[in-house]
Structure 1
Amino acid sequence: MSTPAERTPGFAVFSSASGQLARERARRTTSLVPAASVIAADEHTHVVLWGDLRHRTLDAPIVLTRGARTSRADVGPDEARRIVTGELDLRDVLPPFAAIDWDAALGRLVLVVDWLGMRHLYLSEGDGIVGASSSSAVLAGLSTDRRIDREAIGVQSLLGWQLGAGTPFAGVQKMGPGSRVTLSRGVLTSCEDPPAPVRDAPSAADAARTAANVLSDFVSVQLDGHPDTVLQLTGGLDSRLLLAAIPRNRRSSVEAMTLAVPGSSDVEIASRLVVDQGMKHRTVELRGLQALTDEDAWSLCAAAARDLDCSADPVAFASIRWADPAQSQQPRLAGLGGEVARGFYYFGPLAPVGVSRTLASVLAQWRLFPNERVSPDALEPAFAAAATEIAVDRVHDALTSASDTWWTATDEFYLWQRMQRWAGTLASATCFDRPVINPMLDDRFVRIARALPPADKKNMRFLSRILLELDPDLANIPLDNRPSPRTYAEPSAANRCRLAALQARKVVGKAQQRWSHVTHPPPGGELLAGKVVRHWRTDPQILDPLRHLGIFRQSWLEGVVTGGQPADPSAVALLVNLVVACGTVPALTAGSGSRFP
Structure 2
Amino acid sequence: MGNFLTLVQRPDAASLTEVFARGCTAIRQLKNLTPTGEAVTAYAHAASFARRNGSGAPLVQDAAGNWLCVVGTWFHREGFASGAETKLLAAFLQHGAQALAQALSGFFVIVIGAVRSQTVYVITDLIGSRHAFMRVLPQGVALASSSLVLAKLAEAKPDALGIEEFIRTGVVYEDRSFYADVRKLEPASIYQFSEGKQIARNRYWSLSELTPNKYDGDEAVEAFSSAIIEGASRVGEITPRLLCDLTGGYDSRALAASFLSAGMDFETTVTGAPGRPDVVVAEQLSHITGKRHTPVDLSDAPVSFDKVQDALGLTDGEFDCVEYGLGVLPVHWRNAHEFDLSVNGSFGEVARGYWWELLLPRTGANEPLDARKVAAGRYVIDPNSPQLFDAAATTRLIEHFTAMIGRANAALSDKPNTLQMDNTYLQLRMHRWQGRIASATDQLRPCLSPFMLRPALEVMLQATPRIRQRSLLVRAMLQRLQPRLAAAPLEHGYPAEPFGLTNFHRFAPLVTSYGAKVWQKGWKILGRPVKAAGGVTRESARVQLWREAAVQDLLAPERMRLSEVLSADALKAFLTASQQASFPFEQQWCRVLSCEMALRAARS
What TM-score do you get using the length of structure 1 for normalisation? 0.83
* Count of aligned pairs: 567
RMSD: 3.9
Q: Which residue of 1 aligns with 2:144?
A: 133
Report the CA distance between 1:122 and its aligned residue: 0.9
Q: Distance in 2 between matches of 1:538 and 1:187?
A: 40
Q: Distance in 2 between matches of 1:522 and 1:494?
A: 36
Report the CA distance between 1:453 and its aligned residue: 2.6
Q: Distance in 2 between matches of 1:389 and 1:549?
A: 20
Deviations 1:104-123 (A, max 9, x none): 22222222211221111112
Unaligned runs of 5+ in 1: 1-6, 588-597
Q: Which residue of 1 aligns with 2:535?
A: none
Compared CA separation, residues 533 and 332, structure 1 to 2 (3 A): same
Aligned to 2:376, what secondary structure does the other structure show? helix
Report the CA distance between 1:61 and its aligned residue: 4.3
Q: Is the 8 A contact 1:308 1:425 kept in 2?
A: yes
Q: Is the 8 A contact 1:310 1:581 kept in 2?
A: yes
Aligned to 1:486, what secondary structure does the other structure show? coil
Q: Is the 8 A contact 2:372 2:399 kept in 1?
A: no
Query: Is 1:105 paired with 2:103?
Result: no
Q: Is the 8 A contact 1:526 1:568 kept in 2?
A: no
Matches within 5 A, 1:366-515: 366-370=377-381, 373=382, 375-381=384-390, 386-404=396-414, 405-487=416-498, 501=511
Q: Distance in 1 between matches of 2:262 and 2:188?
A: 38
Aligned to 1:65, what secondary structure does the other structure show? strand
Query: Is 1:218 paired with 2:203?
Result: no
Deviations 1:374-430 (A, max 9, x none): 523341436555444423432343345544443321112122222221111111112
Q: Which residue of 1 aligns with 2:42?
A: 43
1:115 to 126, 145, 162: 126
1:168 to 168, 178, 195: 178
Unaligned runs of 5+ in 2: 533-537
Report the CA distance between 1:220 and its aligned residue: 3.4
Compared CA separation, residues 442 and 518, structure 1 to 2 (3 A): same
Matches within 5 A, 1:132-531: 132-144=143-155, 146-189=156-199, 190-195=201-206, 197-199=209-211, 201-247=214-260, 250=263, 254-260=266-272, 264-286=276-298, 289-290=301-302, 292=303, 297-318=304-325, 319-325=327-333, 326-347=336-357, 349-351=360-362, 359-370=370-381, 373=382, 375-381=384-390, 386-404=396-414, 405-487=416-498, 501=511, 518=526, 527-531=540-544
Aligned to 1:539, what secondary structure does the other structure show? helix
Higher RCO (C-alpha under 8 Å, 6+ residues apart) = 1
Deviations 1:460-507 (A, max 9, x none): 11111211221223211121115212245x59996999698469x689
**What is the one-letter code of the residue matched to 1:20?**
A
Compared CA separation, residues 153 and 498, structure 1 to 2 (3 A): farther
Deviates more, 1:303-312 or 1:58-67: 58-67
Q: Is the 8 A contact 2:70 2:110 kept in 1?
A: yes
Aligned to 2:475, what secondary structure does the other structure show? helix
Q: Is the 8 A contact 1:82 1:88 kept in 2?
A: no
Deviations 1:3-36 (A, max 9, x none): xxxx963324242222416334223324433365
**What is the one-letter code of the residue matched to 1:109?**
V
Q: Is the 8 A contact 1:101 1:109 kept in 2?
A: yes
Q: Is the 8 A contact 2:528 2:582 kept in 1?
A: no
Q: Which residue of 2 aligns with 1:4?
A: none
Report the CA distance between 1:98 and its aligned residue: 1.4
Q: Distance in 1 between matches of 2:59 and 2:69?
A: 11
Q: Is the 8 A contact 1:355 1:399 kept in 2?
A: no
Q: Distance in 2 between matches of 1:439 and 1:564?
A: 42
Q: Which residue of 1 aligns with 2:75?
A: 69
Q: Is the 8 A contact 1:13 1:48 kept in 2?
A: no
Deviations 1:307-330 (A, max 9, x none): 212222222211211233123233
Q: Distance in 2 between matches of 1:458 and 1:100?
A: 39
Q: Which residue of 2 aligns with 1:578?
A: 595
Q: Which residue of 2 aligns with 1:595?
A: none
**What is the one-letter code of the residue matched to 1:257?**
T
Q: Distance in 2 between matches of 1:307 and 1:342?
A: 31
Deviations 1:224-274 (A, max 9, x none): 5534322221111111112222346957x5322222257741121111111
Compared CA separation, residues 83 and 287, structure 1 to 2 (3 A): farther
2:26 to 32, 43, 61: 32
Q: Distance in 2 between matches of 1:209 and 1:73?
A: 25
**What is the one-letter code of the residue matched to 2:552?**
D
Q: Is the 8 A contact 1:212 1:466 kept in 2?
A: yes
Compared CA separation, residues 502 and 400, structure 1 to 2 (3 A): farther
Aligned to 1:68, what secondary structure does the other structure show? strand
Aligned to 2:136, what secondary structure does the other structure show? strand
**What is the one-letter code of the residue matched to 2:286?**
V
Q: Distance in 1 between matches of 2:481 and 2:319?
A: 35
Q: Distance in 1 between matches of 2:555 and 2:250?
A: 43
**What is the one-letter code of the residue matched to 1:313?**
D
Report the CA distance between 1:141 and its aligned residue: 2.6
Q: Which residue of 2 aligns with 1:559?
A: 576
Report the CA distance between 1:221 and its aligned residue: 4.3
Aligned to 1:96, what secondary structure does the other structure show? strand
Deviations 1:59-103 (A, max 9, x none): 564443355334644231234215654375435433311122221
Compared CA separation, residues 275 and 401, structure 1 to 2 (3 A): same
Report the CA distance between 1:523 and its aligned residue: 12
Q: Distance in 1 between matches of 2:597 and 2:367?
A: 37
Query: Is 1:533 paired with 2:546?
Result: yes
Q: Distance in 1 between matches of 2:550 and 2:580?
A: 7
Deviations 1:319-346 (A, max 9, x none): 2112331232332232221111111102
**What is the one-letter code of the residue matched to 1:365?**
A
Compared CA separation, residues 132 and 567, structure 1 to 2 (3 A): farther
1:78 to 62, 81, 86: 86
Q: Is the 8 A contact 1:61 1:80 kept in 2?
A: no
Q: Distance in 2 between matches of 1:137 and 1:379?
A: 24
